[in-house]
Amino acid sequence: MVMNVEIISKEIIKPSSPTPHHLKNFRLSFLDQIAPPFYTAIIFFYDSNQDGLNGDQFERSSSLKKSLAETLTRFYPLAGTLMCEDFSIICNDKGADYIQARAPCKLSEVVEKPSEKVLIPLLPFDPYSNFTEVGTKVLLAVQYNNFDCGGVAVGVIFSHRIVDGTSVAAFVNAWAGTSRGATEIINPSFDTAVHFPPREIPGFMMMAQTNTKEKIVTRRFVFDKSSIDSLKNEASVAFGPEDRAPSRVEVVSTFIWRRFIAIARANPAKKTKIFGAVHAVNLRERMVPKLPAHSIGNLWSVALTASPVEVEKDYPSLLRQVRNAIMEVNGDYVKKLQDGQLDFMKKASEKQTKGEIEFCNFTSWCRFPVYEADFGWGKPTWVCSPSRPCKNVVVMMSTKDGDGIETWVNMKEEDMAMFEHDPELLSFASAAAGE
C-alpha cells in the first residue's frame, strides 16, 4: 500500500505572544551539539469512534492551531531559527510549519499494516532524507491528517538538535492539555546549557550514522506481556534476591542484541570481531539534584557494553552486562560529562569507523507518556515513531496496554533478511508489516 496524501493547506503558526527581548538569544548545550543531525518524528492516531471526533474537522484543526500558538509561547525556542555558527537559536517567533491533509483511506488500514510507505506521508516531510537542506530552517512541523473513516493522525517532527524524546513528550502533552482546556499546563525549563555549557569537541561523531550507500530497511516486532515475562524468567538466574528485577526494556533489548550477535556469527562475510550494545539513558533522573521531566533539551547520554563475536555468551550474562553499563550512568558519570570527558565515546566511534566494532543502538520511549496526549478527542489509539535511517538502530515503545513493547528495528537489507526469519526471535516476538 502506498499512501497518496492530499495536502489541503499549509501555513506558519507563530507564538500567540511575542518572546521577551531578554530571551531572544538561546544557547544550546554541548549535549545538543553531539545529538544526531536528524529529525525526531512521532505520529498520534485517533480512531473515529471517539466522541471528540464527531465535530467538524476544520473546527478541530482551528483549535489545534490556536493551542499550538499558545504552546509555542511557552516553548519559544521551537519557533525560532537555529544558528549553526555559534550553536544558538534566535528566538524570533518565526513559527512552526502546519499542514492540513487528507489521507484517502481508513485509519485501520494504516494501523493494522504500518510501514514506512504509509507512515512517512502522514508527516510534514520525510524527516530522514533532507536534514542538511531544511535542518536549520525547520525546528518544528505538524501535519494534521483526516482519514475517510473520520479518524485523525497528528504527525509531528522536531529537530533532534534541540530536543530529545522526553522533551517531545513534554511538548506534545502541554499542547494537548492546552487544546482540551486543562487547568494545569507545565512550564518548561530551558537551562540545559547551564548544566552542560557548549564547548569545542573536534573530531567527535555520534556512533549511529547514516550510510547512504547501504540499503536500510525497517521491520516492527511486538513483544507481548507473556513473552516479556518468559524472558525475565530466563534472565532471573543472573540476579540475586537483593537485585532489582530486570525491566522490560533491559530484557527485550538484550534479547535483540543477542540475536544481532548470532547473525554476525553466522555470516562468514562479516569481519567485525566485537559487537556492542548502546543504550540511550535519560540523565534528568540521574543528576544530583535531579532535573524535572519538563527540562527541555538533549539531556541523555549512552551506556556502552560489548562482547566478542566468537564468544557465545548466554542470555543472562549479556543482560547482566547491559544492567551494569546502564547503572554506570550515575552522578559521577554526569559530572565527567559536564567536564567534557568524552574519551570513551570518541574511542568507540573510532573503533566503529575502523570496522573493529559494530554497535546495536537502542532508544526506549517506553516510559514516555505519549498515550496521554488527549487533544480533546480522547487518548490516542496508537502512537508510533517511524523508522530511523541508521543501521542497527532499535526504537522501543510501549504497546497501548502498557505491558508489551513494540520494537522498530532498522538494519541493512541483507542482515534483516536473516534477522526477520530468525526462529528464536519469532518464538518471542510477532512480526508486523515491513516496507
- Which CATH number covers residue 122? 3.30.559.10
- Residue 54 is predicted with a pLDDT of 65
- Residue 177 is predicted with a pLDDT of 97
Q: Is 22 labeled as catalytic in the residue annotation?
A: no
User: Number of folded domains in the chain?
Assistant: 2
* Residue 254 within a domain: yes
Q: List pLDDT tens digits, range 224-250.
A: 999 999 999 999 888 888 888 889 999
* Residue 207 within a domain: no
- Residue 421 is predicted with a pLDDT of 94
Q: How far is 84 from 400, CA to CA, in rounded Å?
A: 38
- Based on the domain organization, do 185 and 269 belong to the same domain? no
What is the residue range of 16's domain?
A: 6-195
Q: List pLDDT tens digits, range 370-394.
A: 999 999 999 999 999 986 778 899 9
- Based on the domain organization, do 250 and 171 belong to the same domain? no
What phi and psi values does residue 307 have, to the nearest 5 degrees? -145, 135
* N- to C-terminal Cα separation, the chain: 9
- On whether the CB atoms of residues 176 and 142 are closer than 8 A, the answer is no
- Based on the domain organization, do 374 and 314 belong to the same domain? yes
* Residue 1 within a domain: no
- Residue 38 is predicted with a pLDDT of 85
Q: List pLDDT tens digits, range 272-318.
A: 778 899 999 999 999 999 999 999 999 999 999 998 877 788 999 99
Q: Which one of 32, 160, 279, 294 is the catalytic residue?
A: 160
- Based on the domain organization, do 178 and 83 belong to the same domain? yes
Q: Which one of 47, 93, 374, 415 is the catalytic residue?
A: 374
- Residue 210 is predicted with a pLDDT of 45
User: Of 164, 195, 226, which one is at a domain's C-terminal end?
Assistant: 195
Q: How far is 294 from 368, CA to CA, in rounded Å?
A: 12
* Residue 145 within a domain: yes
Mean pLDDT score across all residues of the chain = 88
Percent of the chain whose pLDDT exceeds 90: 65
- Based on the domain organization, do 319 and 406 belong to the same domain? yes
Write out the three cell numbers for 320. 547482566
Q: Please confirm whether the linkage preceding 77 is cis (ω < 30° from 0).
A: no
- Based on the domain organization, do 361 and 220 belong to the same domain? yes
Is pLDDT at 191 greater than 60 in this prediction? yes
